[in-house]
């Protein structure tokens, strides 16, 4: 790391602490990020990946329940911009893929705040609302692990663990089934669409734009002609 890097059915379980959360977000080098957007975005794909991450981190840091956001990345340009927002940047030292990067980031988060609840969050949630993220975190049980499925219902956008429980990330295609099989409780919440709306395709981006995205994605989408500037929606309560 660099010098500036911070290393079932039955009764409903009580909620985990609603404040003090550490969030870990993974971000590939921008040149390789969001490859499924290539047919739609072409050469603008890295710019969109960066805008998504900037808006996700901005919203996450604005949630009162969140104390720190750690971004696991080896991209120096993205890392510098995310650090300027207030994120802690962790070098993706182990390699090996998404889940290894998340486990590495989780270890860094626990070293920094060993008694804080911890969650892995997708970095491509440009419509993320702080209040909706807070609702999801407040619904995490006080013991064990829990996850929120993505909008299509096959993947995962957030995996959380209470203090003392391992994160054990199993992200990737079909992660909803893997997290369920691994014993994580599925959070079934309404009204948290912005936390479930990750963006992998042009259709996903259109859905996020309809929800209202953060300022970085909104400005880039308007500049690229994905929506007129005057029609560009913004999430309530965000600039």
Domains present along the chain, CATH in parentheses: 21-224 (3.90.550.10)
Per-residue tokens: 154:
């096959």
Start-to-end Cα distance in the chain: 33
Quote the pLDDT of residue 14: 43
How much is the pLDDT for 217? 97
The helix (run of H) or strand (run of E) holding residue 90 is strand 88-90
pLDDT (tens, 9 = 90+) of the chain, 239 residues, equals 333 333 333 333 444 455 699 999 999 999 999 999 988 889 999 999 999 999 999 999 999 999 999 999 999 999 999 999 999 999 876 777 999 999 999 999 999 999 999 999 999 999 999 999 999 999 999 999 999 999 999 999 999 999 999 999 999 999 999 999 999 999 999 999 999 999 999 999 999 999 999 999 999 999 999 875 445 445 544 53
Inter-residue contact 6 to 86 (CB < 8 Å): no
Distance separating alpha carbons of residues 176 and 199, to the nearest angstrom: 16
Q: What does the pLDDT read at residue 229?
A: 46
What does the pLDDT read at residue 239? Answer: 39
Which run of H or of E encompasses 119?
A: strand 118-121
Question: What is the pLDDT at residue 96?
Answer: 77
Q: What are the distances in angstroms from CA 200 to CA 12, 157, 158, 169? A: 34, 12, 16, 19
């Amino acid at each position: 790391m660099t010098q500036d890097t911070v290393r079932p059915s039955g009764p409903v379980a009580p909620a985990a602490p609603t404040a003090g959360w550490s969030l870990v977000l993974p971000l590939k080098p921008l040149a390789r990020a969001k490859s499924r957007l290539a047919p739609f975005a072409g050469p603008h794909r890295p710019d969109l990946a960066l805008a998504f991450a900037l808006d996700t981190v901005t919203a996450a840091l604005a949630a009162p329940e969140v104390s720190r956001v750690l971004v696991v990345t080896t991209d120096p340009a993205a890392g510098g911009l995310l650090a300027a927002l207030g994120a802690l940047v962790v070098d993706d030292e182990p390699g090996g893929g998404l889940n290894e990067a998340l486990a590495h980031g989780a270890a860094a988060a626990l070293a920094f705040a060993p008694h804080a609840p911890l969650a892995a969050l997708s970095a491509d949630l440009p419509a993320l609302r702080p209040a909706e993220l807070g609702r999801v975190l407040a619904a995490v049980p006080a013991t064990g692990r829990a996850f929120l499925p993505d909008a299509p219902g096959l993947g995962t956008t957030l995996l959380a663990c209470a203090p003392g429980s391992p994160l054990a990330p199993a992200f990737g295609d079909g992660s909803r089934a893997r997290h369920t099989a691994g014993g994580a409780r599925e959070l079934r919440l309404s009204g948290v669409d912005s936390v479930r709306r990750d963006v992998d395709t042009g259709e996903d981006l259109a859905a996020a734009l309809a929800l209202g995205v953060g300022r970085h994605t909104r400005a880039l989408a308007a500049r690229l002609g994905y929506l007129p500037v005057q029609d560009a929606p913004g999430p309530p309560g965000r600039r």
